[in-house]
A and B are shown apart, each in its own frame.
Chain A
């Protein structure tokens, strides 16, 4: 046993200081695609056929990307570098409403976001500094589970923030749902949600959970988990990075504001 004591000390502290201090791995992270502020007019033809998940729309000359559909394949960034770029930073694409993931923002989004955020803040006020999280896989490809699991490792160490994974939904405050919404999981997902005490928060974790991703059109899925449980935080990414999941968790319970500031 003693060999493990020494091995545990070998690398010193490897845990990130984020969110108290910036972390370069989080800041350098390549997020979903976004349209450039001033797109090159020469690159606007046939844009909608470009994206495998139909995330790109053009209305009245404005190019929009629905990051909730973006699977980060990068085709638009590679083929139309004058119109699209990667978004930067792991903590970007977490939203209070589904529409908030559409970049640039639609006209009516801001008011809805503020309202949703206020409602969520009211509900989560009672959670204080101890939050228990339950995870349900509703048809993921397996990668989202790895990224959530990473939060329990020494690098991200969820526990230092007072957030714990719990086995029983009866003890859970937050439900992390992954996967495209496989119909076989609709029942178990709903049962888990119903078993959680109020107040409860649901995070759709990853592009698959938000919109179904590439499996949106499949008859075996509901095209995202929003059809089965009411979602409070929509987190894009295929899969989202561990920092992205951590950020969504902290926003959900009000530790962080979307701008990255500590709220309490």
Chain B
């Protein structure tokens, strides 16, 4: 009797159909959940990537802007509200510094391109170095070292046509030469047609910091915390801070997301001091210093340079 029951044991057709139907429903639910999870994963990865891109790009710009003027002095145009080529623009900024502290004072008047002029500390420069020519009247010109002679330099302007100098630099105005590192942040369109945030540093290839940029804006803050017009920024009259606003759009190849903009105020450090030689501070010099560190030994070196300021006019 028992043996006969075991032989006939099994599922009826209706049982099998019910099981198949339940399995199909569970399978459909699992498929939908997996599909939603995958979409959620892509969305969240996209949002996170966009968020990190904003944070890292703003952070990179903040560090460079905070270094503006390092080793240069307040009269050397540490910040320019525009591109490296000298075009003023609200969505570009160029910051200058002299991290190696390489500076020299002209011992002869510099009147034309390729003229070998005597300078102190000429040996610190090399042919091809990008330099700034500055004088006590805050005249500023970008140039490149064309040749280094014994105790002398020959220079070509980067602002004038064919390397011709736009200004003359006189020893009576304490003209000096400063090696300069320029970093520029600006927007451009890449090969795919996307608007990207690019960074160009002296002597380095261009670097893309973020893609699909919808807005990049630099607002300037004056000494008293008031808004400062970009047109008012010139050598010797710089802002006290820069507000960076960056808004990225979504990657069009990924599920659409909303990306929050980021706005950060960066304070500019005072990178030089004025040292008075009399009680009324009529006679002053400017003094700037840089500190470098040997990557191997970790030893730190300080380099300073000073410049004579003109007497105040009454």
A and B assemble together: no
